[in-house]
Amino acid sequence: MLISPSVLNSNLGRLSEEISKVEGVADLIHLDVMDNHFVPNLSFGLPVVAGVLAHTSLPVDVHLMIDDPDRWAPAYGEAGAYSVTFHIEAAKDPVTLSKNISATGARVAAALKPGTDLDSLDGLLEHLDMILIMTVEPGFGGQAFMYDMMPKIARARELSGAHMWIEVDGGVSQNTIKDCKEAGANVFVAGSCVYSNPDPAQVVRDLKALVE
Ligand code: DX5
Ligand code: ZN
């Protein structure tokens, strides 16, 4: 069971300070790359991710909400990301893309928007280390958790077997994390519930305690 705080709703003007607040307690740090094309929001790209990689001891969990990941995603692995997630809806040749990411040494994951069926991963599962099930529409932190995604989490676990990591992202909090675990998830992204609290490390500890 791994907790991956998302910095999207943290104070991005003090990014390394915000990340250091969860170092030593979090398992990963989740960075949301958005290009204002795949999603209607713009965050940051490779230069900022590379800057974070140089300053944190946490493994970096990159979530690419961008068009044309076939072209852009492997560079995040080359830069040293621990895990690189692309959206299946945006990938042109997901098998080749997954191989290209794996070749950098990074773990590779495919993300599914709430409306995207698990069938879209047909023929790809053997090339993946993780499936990311979005439990909100991607683009913004602080949205309400979509409980209707629970069967999809369970089905992803069923289809992929015990070794696959299943990550949930969107609206994960003290109220929803246990249900995600029970459905079969083992990697939990939590953004606003961690960084809206004056003690982010304590929230991460609380989340861990709920799933362990
Ligand atoms: C949304 C991002 C999430 C976001 C989660 O598109 O992928 O990682 O930061 O934030 P919360 O936990 O507030 O829903
Ligand atoms: Zn994310």
Domains and CATH numbers, the chain: 2-211 (3.20.20.70)
Rounded to 5°, angle at Cα 70 from 66 and 72: 60
Residue 144 amino acid letter: A
CB 142 less than 6 A from any atom of ligand 1:
yes
Strand 165-169 relative to strand 130-134, pairing = parallel
What's the pLDDT tens digit per position in 17-32? 999 999 999 999 999 9
How far is ligand 2, taken at its centre, from the CA of residue 189, in Å?
Answer: 7
What's the pLDDT tens digit per position in 60-91? 999 999 999 999 999 999 999 999 999 999 99
Annotated active-site positions, please?
32, 169
Residue 164 amino acid letter: M
pTM of the model: 0.98
